[in-house]
Amino acid sequence: MDIAGKKAIVLGGTSGIGLATSLMLVEKGADVVAVSRDPSKAGDVPAGIRLAALDSRDSEAVEAFFNAEGDIDILVNSATGGSRAFGPFMEMDMKGFQGSFDKLWGYANVLRYGASHVRDHGSIVLVSGSPARKPKPGQIALSAVGGAVEALARAIAAEIAPKRVNVVSPGIIDTPMVALSGEDRAKHYQNVTKTHLVDRAGHPAEVAQAIIFAIENDFITGTTIDVDGGWLVAQ
Name residues of the chain where pLDDT drops below 70: none
Per-residue model confidence as pLDDT tens digits over 35-53: 999 999 899 999 999 999 9
- Let me know: does 30 contact 74? Beta carbons within 8 Å: yes
CATH of 7-227, one of 3.40.50.9100, 3.40.50.720, 2.30.110.10, 3.40.50.300: 3.40.50.720
Burial degree of 40 (CB within 10 A; 0-12, 13-18, 19+): exposed
Residues 6+ apart with CB under 8 A from 80: 12, 103, 177
* Structural domain boundaries in the chain: 7-227
The reported pLDDT for the residue numbered 179 is 81
The reported pLDDT for the residue numbered 196 is 93
The reported pLDDT for the residue numbered 235 is 72
